[in-house]
Chain A
Amino acid sequence: MSLVQVKGTQVELDEDGFLVDPEDWSEEMAAYFATVEEVADLTDNHWKVINYLRDYFKKFGVAPMIRKLCKDTGFSLKEIYELFPSGPAKGACKLAGLPKPTGCV
């Protein structure tokens, strides 16, 4: 566990740097995570993925499967990795403030 200071608010992260409480998410948080996950600039394309993930999570309570993410956003997996070098789970989900992916990773 660790605490980070983002725009004056203190936010709690787990060891992997994911939000402990998804309610703590803000656009500034996404900008902070971008620096950690080697995303240089948050472009419209990044936001398209982030917003999609947030909407999906709000609606279904889980992260979408990767193939669904690609289909619905129109980005190929290759393009997702170009946007988020650490991939959809560790990169995009973290920026979108979703809980940490679990299971046999």
Chain B
Amino acid sequence: MDDRKTPLLDELEKGDWPSFVTEIKRAAAKNKSAADLLAQLESSYEENIGHWKHGGIVGVKGYGGGVVGRYSDEPEKFPHIKEFHTIRVNQPAGFFYTTKKLRQLADIWDKYGSGLYNLHGSTGDCILLGTTTENLQPCVDELADIGFDLGGSGGALRTLSCCVGAARCEKACIDSMQIIHDLTLHYQDAIHRPAWPYKFKIKVSACPNDCAAASARSDLAIIGIWRDAIRIDNEAVRAAVDNGFDIFNRVIRKCPSEALLWDTEKKELTVCAEDCVHCMNCINMMPKAISIGREQGAALMIGGKAPVVKGAMLGWVLVPFIKLEPPYTELKEIIDKITDWWADHGKNRERVSELIVRMGLANFLEAVGLKPLPQMVHEPRSNPYIFWNAEEVEKRG
């Protein structure tokens, strides 16, 4: 560690939360680029301005993405972060690692990079933070030797991610980890070689709790669900209630569709399956007594994205229920139809939801071969500007 002073950053070593400044200092003790990063960050804090140049196009042979190029705008002052590129490494599904794998990864990154990571980037990738152009290819080659490939960047299918699903969670309706593993292998070309108008993200949450935040942060959200009734173990319900659990205020009253019935006399809970909207509240409140139904599958939601350009969107229902079993043929067909239509019609940097808004949901549904369903809308349109196809008008007179 050199003797440069970082009074502003030092403030952020105080307090109870683990400090990222301490992390960078630890890396800086054995790595010059981490030391320069710390120094540049201090000057950014002083001046309230970022010190990275605009853009950067670097990569490795055969890939069109996976590496984000970055250059310091003061290379003379901070020579070791003159080039400070980020490598996105596809994470194992559900972020499960062995210590052996992490040690192998760290050995490679100590050799070629700054020693700094982001575990994990918000899309899910294991982010290796800061290396030179020269080191990219050998680093990625060695990563491949230990079984890690690059993730996605640019106008491509981005790295898929999921919740821990069936590995640790009794609420999992689908095997989210298996699904993203399968899709990741199936769509290698789409991930590594950007060919689309803009990015496309897929995330899988194994139940409507949506622990992968799929509906907000992926263009195609796959969310586990069941279509029969929740299962209620009334003995366990009684045990909880006898133990002082306030079932009325925490469960019955909170049911958004009033699907639950509580018989105070018999201390018996029943559900009207037709009314249940799968919100998860009762299951979350009484996980030992209430569980997901037996007929499991997923709902597909389309269109989640951040604000640029036409405003932030949450995914909306595209397929209310689909069975998901390997090799997920039906799911892959839907994905292919969506991305083909979008790639054919999308403008440069137009997300799929923006294209749907521009061209209309009806055109989109026709292109991907899905029927319009009431579940797709929150409410019917409130204006009368309805488009009719010429044939429909002739047919109906």
Contacts and interface: CB of A to CB of B under 8 A. Distances in A.
Contacts of B198: 104
A15 B75 CA distance: 11
B348 A15 contact: no
B62 A81 contact: yes
A90 interface: yes
B65 to A, nearest CB: 7
B57 A65 contact: no
Given A15-B56, A65-B348, A81-B62, A104 B69 contact: no
A101 B196 CA distance: 14
Nearest to B75: A15
Contact of A105 (B65, B193, B197): B65
Tell me which of B154, B189, B197 has the highest count of chain A C-beta atoms within 10 A of its own C-beta: B154
A88 B64 contact: yes
B194 interface: yes
Contacts of A46: none
A85 B61 contact: yes
A38 B199 CA distance: 27
Contacts of A16: 56-58, 69
B57 A105 contact: yes
A100 B195 contact: no
Given A104-B154, A105-B68, A89 B348 contact: no
Nearest to B72: A15
| Interface size of B as a range | 20 to 34
Contact of A38 (B56, B61, B195): B61
B256 to A, nearest CB: 36
A15 B71 contact: yes
A49 B196 CA distance: 19
Interface in A1-23: 15-16, 18
A65 B197 contact: yes
B50 to A, nearest CB: 16
A78 to B, nearest CB: 8
A14 to B, nearest CB: 9
Contacts of A77: 189, 193, 195
B61 A86 contact: yes
Tell me which of A87, A101, A102, A105 has the highest count of chain B C-beta atoms within 10 A of its own C-beta: A105
A87 to B, nearest CB: 4
Contacts of A42: none
The 7 A-B pairs with the shortest beta carbon distances in the complex, nearest first, are A87-B64, A16-B57, A105-B154, A85-B61, A102-B55, A15-B71, A66-B195
26 contacts: A15-B71, A16-B69, A38-B61, A65-B197, A66-B194, A67-B344, A70-B195, A77-B193, A78-B189, A81-B62, A81-B64, A86-B59, A86-B60, A86-B61, A86-B64, A87-B63, A87-B64, A90-B57, A90-B58, A100-B55, A101-B57, A102-B54, A103-B55, A104-B153, A105-B56, A105-B57
Given A15-B53, A67-B196, A90-B57, 9 more contacts: A15-B71, A16-B56, A65-B348, A66-B194, A81-B193, A90-B58, A105-B56, A105-B68, A105-B154
Interface of B: 53-65, 68-69, 71, 83, 153-155, 189, 193-199, 343-344, 348-349
